Structure 1
Amino acid sequence: MAVLILYPLLLALPIEVSVDVYASGAGGARMALCLLCLAAACALQILHVRPAARGGGRRHRTVRLFVQLLLTYVPLIWLGTAWAETGGFLAASMLLVLSRLKWTLFFATVFSGPLIAALHHETVAYVVHLTVGTLVLGLTLYTVSRLARVSSDLVHARTSLAEAVTRERVRFARDLHDLLGYSLSAIALKSEVALRHIPHRHEQAREELAAILRISRQSLTEMRHVANGYCVLSPESELETSTAMLKSAGIEVDAKISAPWPDGMQGTVLAVVLREAMTNILRHSKAERCSIAVQRADGRLRMVIRNDGAWQERQDGASVPPPASRAKSGGLVNLTARLGAVGGALVVGPRPDGWFELAAEVPEAHGPLVPAPAL
């Protein structure tokens, strides 16, 4: 539905601008230039919206935005103030591409066209019409484009989740078959043999029962290994998933991993800390940038996660909860208990520069899986 609304909007403005430029007395050369610039502007606008074309990094998006900026203002030299109506494209792109100062630049773009029209001695009615039209078009394109993005991201997330569940089901079924199939078959067979030996051959029956006990214990150990596949987390996979999640939410992520991740319970605990931190950023902050660093120091591994959500909350006029109140939340209490179980520590709170920081430390030595408080 979002796409069905978006593309007619992208088609309506070029038609309107073409008619206005033609009505202003433009000749064949100017009309050709107008159509060429409109095609390029529409293509750039689609690139800002389509999920398949949103990649390439921040640098490519900035280049596309700069080209669109040129296409908005340079053709005014030849096409006149009728071309200023394309400012709605640029205004919407400001909101879609930029993270900081986007609303300031949005309104600057909205009022730049009417200002140029006023300098060219256009009527007050036309200036007002151009202002309202650019504002409405920019907000409409931004809203529909964001809706298309969110819809696409939700479909992708649902597909990824379904695939992950299917993989886990296959893994669990495969492990049960491979690890327990033989053991259970052996237990059944030896139980039958023991039953036949009990009336007359007590020694052989005793040996068979001892074998059954040994196989049962081995099966129990193997079953625990299968179950551990659900509670052991990989910090590498968790970092990849968290990074993709933040980027899909429009948050810039800078990850610097200068030390190898630990395995065993230490790695699982750090993966849980990372997951909880990403959840808090998405649910409780307005962060636009996030940094994740892992480094080794004095025989300990330190993971630091920072975001600028606290700074933005101050800019919005809302108060930032003090570190003590945040430290009492259920998730952070569980993280503290988990880290304490492996000899680690957790420090949470705002920094002097306005960023919010979560730092977790664990011993560098690889440790075995041990019981830890649940999430």
Structure 2
Amino acid sequence: MMDSHDRSHRAEESTGRSPEAAAPPTPGNRLPAPRIARTILIAALLGYTLLTTTSILTAGVSPTAEATGLLLLLPITALQLLHSTPGNNQASPPRTRLTLVLQALLTYLPLVIFHAYWETMAGYLAGSLLLLLPPRVAWPLYATVGLSMLIPPLLTGHPLLHGIYLTHTTLLTGLVLYGLTRLAHLTTHLHTTRGELARQAVTGERLRFARDLHDILGFSLSAITRKSELIDQLIPTHPDRAMQEVDEVLALAGQSLADVRKAASGYRAISLQQEIRTAQSMLHAADIHVHIGIELPTVAPHIDTALATTLREAVTNLLRHGNATRCRITAVHRDGVVRLLIENDGADPAYHNPASHSGNGLDNLQARMTAIGGRLETGHGGDGTFRLLAEAPAKPSESPAEPMGASVPAPVGRPRMS
């Protein structure tokens, strides 16, 4: 099962596709809410068309005029459906002008025959203007279309009040169609955005897990490797010491397994002070002279975890990419800021790992420190030293613990080096 998963992952990498790319997003109009909004809009359009159809059939005009009016309803309704389609407001200006002019002709020419019975179609035109044109142009034209409905009643001898009614109906119809169309568009956009946010959340969780796994296993495997090499050297001459190292390797392996499980469950708190003790033991196993200085109160768990992870990565890089003989680790609290400083010799400024997957630990640390409002600085000295400084705002609890002394006891059974 793992083999098939690995083959699938390698196939995705070889084709340049990610898991997200392999699963295209569901179009917004296939989701329930956007589909309902679109259905309401179409129902409103068809309702207005049916209302005009009824008005034509009861207008008392000739059968030829009735047939002409019913035929004209088809293209004007189709145009309105086109104008209400999501994304149609991004159409080219020539196409927009053409469809609006055509809709205006289909709106005003039939008024000569049907007079007030065609007023709903003017509402269609008013809504299309709001949907397709920039606001500074659309709203004046919208008002013009509404006011133009004052003219037909005056030409047919109807009172002015009837023209006011037609104007009100036209403007209201335009607003209703504009509002329903915008609602359908916004609902679709909302669901599309929600899908994108969900995919981003999944991607972020994958990155978090990859970062945690890198930080956990990079440190633990380096420690286990170093201690295993030491055990191999100690077995012939110091079997008791070798057994102590075996116990520490087993403890490291167990802690690594526990950390991986915590990372998979989404939360993994690490203690900086405990990590300093572990780092000291590992550096001693590598015959590196260690000096420890700690003066810390209790800090917030997420600050403690970020700094402990920084220490892990720094020590891992020290063992993998350098030839150190001395290392200084200092963790202090000054002026509301926690500062973690790691300095070691034996660093090669020109070192570059040619492997294609050589890791991105410092980038991970920079992201972690930025996320908690801190910063990370690294640099090489002229004498072959490497310096890493991590700073983060301290947020002590209500009852901070007393600062620790300036040193951490060495592991039992091992002389302390300072």
Q: TM-score, normalised by structure 2?
A: 0.46
**In 2, are the aligned partners of 1:72 and 1:90 still within 8 Å (CA)?**
yes
Between 38-47 and 90-99, report the one with greater CA deviation.
38-47
Post-superposition Cα deviations, 1:276-299, rounded to whole Å, max 9, x if no partner, equal: xxxxxxxxxxxxxxxxxxxxxxxx
AA matched with 2:362: R
User: CA–CA distance in 1 between the matches of 2:228 and 2:360?
Assistant: 23
User: CA–CA distance in 1 between the matches of 2:86 and 2:220?
Assistant: 50
Structure 1: state its 5+ residue gaps: 233-370
**In 1, are the aligned partners of 2:116 and 2:166 still within 8 Å (CA)?**
no
The equivalent of 2:398 in structure 1 is none
1:214 to 319, 322, 338: 319
User: CA–CA distance in 2 between the matches of 1:222 and 1:13?
Assistant: 62
**In 2, are the aligned partners of 1:95 and 1:142 still within 8 Å (CA)?**
yes
User: CA–CA distance in 1 between the matches of 2:285 and 2:229?
Assistant: 7
Distance of aligned partners of 1:176 and 1:8 in 2 relative to their CA distance in 1, 3 Å threshold: same
Q: How does 1:288-307 map to 2 (within 5 A)?
A: none
AA matched with 1:26: V
Q: How does 1:58-77 map to 2 (within 5 A)?
A: 58-77=93-112
The equivalent of 1:135 in structure 2 is 171
Q: How does 1:272-351 map to 2 (within 5 A)?
A: none
Q: How does 1:28-107 map to 2 (within 5 A)?
A: 28-51=63-86, 53-99=88-134, 100-107=136-143
The equivalent of 1:335 in structure 2 is none
Distance of aligned partners of 1:113 and 1:230 in 2 relative to their CA distance in 1, 3 Å threshold: farther
User: CA–CA distance in 2 between the matches of 1:197 and 1:110?
Assistant: 95
Post-superposition Cα deviations, 1:184-242, rounded to whole Å, max 9, x if no partner, equal: 4343233233245357669x99997269642287999731234567999xxxxxxxxxx
User: CA–CA distance in 2 between the matches of 1:70 and 1:216?
Assistant: 78
Greater relative contact order structure (CA < 8 Å, 6+ sep): 2
Q: How does 1:154-165 map to 2 (within 5 A)?
A: 154-165=190-201
Between 212-221 and 16-25, report the one with greater CA deviation.
212-221
1:225 to 363, 382, 399: 363
User: CA–CA distance in 2 between the matches of 1:225 and 1:95?
Assistant: 49
Equivalent position SS for 1:21: helix
**In 2, are the aligned partners of 1:179 and 1:222 still within 8 Å (CA)?**
no
Q: How far off its partner does 1:157 sit?
A: 1.4
Distance of aligned partners of 1:31 and 1:227 in 2 relative to their CA distance in 1, 3 Å threshold: farther
Q: How far off its partner does 1:110 sit?
A: 0.7
Matched residues, percent identical?
23
Distance of aligned partners of 1:8 and 1:216 in 2 relative to their CA distance in 1, 3 Å threshold: same
Structure 2: state its 5+ residue gaps: 1-35, 246-282, 289-315, 323-352, 371-389, 391-418
The equivalent of 1:151 in structure 2 is 187
User: CA–CA distance in 1 between the matches of 2:123 and 2:75?
Assistant: 15
Distance of aligned partners of 1:208 and 1:147 in 2 relative to their CA distance in 1, 3 Å threshold: same
User: CA–CA distance in 1 between the matches of 2:132 and 2:70?
Assistant: 25
**Root-mean-square deviation over aligned CA pairs:** 3.9
The equivalent of 1:10 in structure 2 is 45
Q: How far off its partner does 1:88 sit?
A: 0.8
AA matched with 2:43: P
**In 2, are the aligned partners of 1:180 and 1:222 still within 8 Å (CA)?**
no
Equivalent position SS for 1:121: coil
User: CA–CA distance in 1 between the matches of 2:156 and 2:126?
Assistant: 22
Q: How far off its partner does 1:180 sit?
A: 7.2
Distance of aligned partners of 1:196 and 1:131 in 2 relative to their CA distance in 1, 3 Å threshold: same
Post-superposition Cα deviations, 1:116-151, rounded to whole Å, max 9, x if no partner, equal: 332232344532331221122122222222222222
AA matched with 2:363: H
Distance of aligned partners of 1:133 and 1:176 in 2 relative to their CA distance in 1, 3 Å threshold: same
Q: How many residues align?
A: 232
Post-superposition Cα deviations, 1:40-94, rounded to whole Å, max 9, x if no partner, equal: 2222222233325454344433333222222211233444442233111111122
**In 1, are the aligned partners of 2:120 and 2:173 still within 8 Å (CA)?**
no
**In 2, are the aligned partners of 1:72 and 1:86 still within 8 Å (CA)?**
yes
Q: How far off its partner does 1:176 sit?
A: 6.0
Give the number of the structure whose residues are more often helix, by fraction: 1
The equivalent of 2:154 in structure 1 is 118
**In 2, are the aligned partners of 1:49 and 1:148 still within 8 Å (CA)?**
no
Equivalent position SS for 2:158: coil
AA matched with 1:130: L
Post-superposition Cα deviations, 1:254-281, rounded to whole Å, max 9, x if no partner, equal: xxxxxxxxxxxxxxxxxxxxxxxxxxxx
**In 1, are the aligned partners of 2:80 and 2:128 still within 8 Å (CA)?**
yes
Distance of aligned partners of 1:176 and 1:28 in 2 relative to their CA distance in 1, 3 Å threshold: farther
Q: How far off its partner does 1:183 sit?
A: 6.6
Equivalent position SS for 1:51: coil
User: CA–CA distance in 2 between the matches of 1:222 and 1:167?
Assistant: 17
Q: How far off its partner does 1:106 sit?
A: 1.0
**In 1, are the aligned partners of 2:96 and 2:132 still within 8 Å (CA)?**
yes
Post-superposition Cα deviations, 1:293-337, rounded to whole Å, max 9, x if no partner, equal: xxxxxxxxxxxxxxxxxxxxxxxxxxxxxxxxxxxxxxxxxxxxx
Distance of aligned partners of 1:182 and 1:113 in 2 relative to their CA distance in 1, 3 Å threshold: same
Distance of aligned partners of 1:96 and 1:52 in 2 relative to their CA distance in 1, 3 Å threshold: closer
